[in-house]
Amino acid sequence: MIKFFRTIRYDLMEKNKIGRYLKYALGEIVLVVIGILIALQINNWNENRKEISKSLNYLKEFRKDLITDTISFNQALTGLSRDINSEVWALKKTKYNLTDSDSILAALGRTYYDRRINTRTFSSVQNSGNSKLIGYDSIFGIISGYYIKTNERLTSHTEWDKRAVTEGQDYKTLLYSEIEVDNNYIKKNSRTLYAQDFPMITDSSEQAMKIIKFATTVQARNNLKENYIRHLRLKNVFNQTKQEAKDLITSIDEELKN
C-alpha cells in the first residue's frame, strides 16, 4: 500500500502537480500512523491477555492456599474443643476420684497453638512487584485484606497464646516436684509410639492422690480458668479466620466461573 502511494507521488511530482502530491504524501503519513497505532493496540491487547491469564493462575493458587488454611484451622479447632471440654469438666468438679488423675493432668496441660495463614501465593505476588491482579482488581482487594489485616489479628493472638503458655509454667515446677510422669505422658509428648517404657518409682495410687490434692488448690483452679479463657479466645479467632477463608474461596469460585 505504501509502495503504491509512493509511485503515485513520484508520478505527481514529475507532472508538477504539487497540491495533489502533498495530499498523497499526507495520506501516506496518516496510513503509517494508523498502522503503528493498530500494531500498538494489538500488542497491548496481547499483553493484557497475558496479564489476565497470569492473574487467573494466581487466583487458582490463592484458592489452594485458602483450602489448606481451612484444613489447618479445623484441626486446631478440634484440639481447642477437646481442651475446652477437658477444662470445663475439671472446673465443674470440686471433688475427684483416683481414676480422674489422668484427666486432671490433661486439663492442666499448657500447650500453645501456633497456627498461621498460608502466605505462599500472596508473597509470590508481592515479590513479583504486582500491586493488583489485572482483571480481578475488586477481589484482590478482599484477598489483600485477608493476608494483611486478618493475618495481623491472628498473629497477635497466637503470639499472646505462646507467651501465656511459656510464662505460665510455674505450676509444673510445683507439680513435678511431687509426681513422676508416666509412660503415657512420655509417648504423648514425644509424639511417637517408639518411646521406651520406664519403671515407675512411685505408687500409682499415691501419685493419683497427689494430683487430686493439687487440683483442688486455688493455684490449680486459676490455672484451669486461665487455660479456659485463653482457649475460648483462640477458638473465636480461629473460627473467624476459617470463615473468612471459606468466604474467600466462594468469591474466587464465582470469579473463576466468569
Quick one: pLDDT band at residue 13, thresholds 50, 70, 90? Answer: low
Range from 129-133, 181-185, 196-200 that averages highest in pLDDT:
196-200
C-alpha cell at 142: 478482599
Q: What is the pLDDT of residues 143-162, one digit of tens each?
A: 999 999 999 999 999 999 99
In this prediction, residue 28 carries a pLDDT of 64
Sorted by where each begins, the domain ranges of the chain are 54-257
* Contact of 113 with 162, CB cutoff 8 Å: no
Is pLDDT of 189 > 70?
Answer: no
Nearest-CA neighbor of 220 among 211, 229, 230? Answer: 211
In this prediction, residue 112 carries a pLDDT of 87
Percent with pLDDT over 70 in the chain: 78
Q: What is the pLDDT of residues 49-108, one digit of tens each?
A: 677 778 888 999 999 999 999 999 999 999 999 999 999 999 999 899 999 988 988 888
Segments in 93-217 forming alpha helices (H): 101-108, 120-127, 137-145, 151-167, 170-176, 183-190, 204-215
C-alpha cell at 141: 482487594
* Contact of 157 with 234, CB cutoff 8 Å: yes
Nearest-CA neighbor of 117 among 56, 172, 65? Answer: 65
In this prediction, residue 136 carries a pLDDT of 82
Average confidence (pLDDT) over 171-191: 72
In this prediction, residue 18 carries a pLDDT of 57
